């Protein structure tokens, strides 16, 4: 798999990490694992490794393939839709993505209580990430959720 990335300089943070982490998350969602273990929570970096931006298509294609018995590929029967699993079982971090448009979309797709602040250290500038959170065009409630409330809930912090 590495050759498909490394020949183009895509093996690291520029693309490969997100592509592989996103693939693993989708495999967890579509494997039925989250039906067997509904209380598992995964933390996925980089505003969801691209998944929030594909949720509508994933939902649409999964529904279609399920309706026609798997289409070209076999699919497990799931109790919920892929987007429901994503919203229920995944928390995404802001790490490495200081983009107000991406944050707004991730809050809508993943759920306002499922986004939390993180810094992709040592690859990203911590000061810039903190400044982004301070100035991001979000409500006070969203900023509190992102900055600490989501982490408190997910990690049982007080």
pLDDT for 69: 67
Sign of the four-CA dihedral 128, 145, 26, 68: negative
Question: For 62-84, how does the pLDDT look when each residue is reduced to its tens digit (9 = 90+)?
Answer: 888 888 865 566 778 899 999 99
pTM: 0.91
What residue has token string 């999964």?
62
CA torsion angle for 142, 148, 152, 158 (degrees, to 10)? -130
pLDDT less than 70: residues of the chain: 69-73
Count CB-CB contacts under 10 A for residue 41: 12
Q: Active-site residue 140, yes or no?
A: no
Q: How open is the CA angle 80-86-17, to the nearest 5 degrees?
A: 140
pLDDT for 41: 97
Give phi and psi for 32, each to the nearest 5: 90, -5
The chain-wide mean pLDDT, for the chain, equals 93
Domains in the chain and their CATH numbers? 2-155 (3.20.20.140)
Which position among 98, 120, 125, 140 bears the catalytic label?
A: 120
Q: Report how far residue 15's alpha carbon sits from residue 46's, in angstroms, rounded to the nearest whole number.
A: 11
Are 61 and 70 a contacting pair, CB within 8 Å?
no
């Amino acid at each position: 798999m590495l050759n498909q990335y490394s020949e183009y300089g895509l093996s690291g943070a520029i693309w490969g990490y997100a592509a592989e982490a996103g693939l693993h998350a989708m495999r967890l969602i579509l494997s039925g694992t989250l039906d067997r273990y509904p209380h598992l929570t995964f933390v996925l970096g980089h505003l969801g490794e691209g998944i929030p931006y594909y949720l509508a298509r994933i939902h649409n294609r999964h529904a279609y393939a399920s309706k026609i018995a798997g289409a070209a590929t076999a699919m497990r029967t799931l109790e919920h839709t892929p987007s429901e699993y994503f919203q229920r079982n995944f928390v995404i971090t802001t790490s490495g993505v200081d983009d107000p448009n991406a944050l707004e979309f991730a809050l809508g797709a993943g759920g306002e209580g499922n986004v939390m602040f993180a810094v992709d250290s040592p690859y990203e500038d911590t000061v810039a990430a903190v400044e982004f959170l301070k100035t991001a065009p979000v409500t006070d409630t969203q900023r509190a959720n992102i900055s600490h409330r989501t982490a408190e809930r997910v990690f049982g912090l007080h």
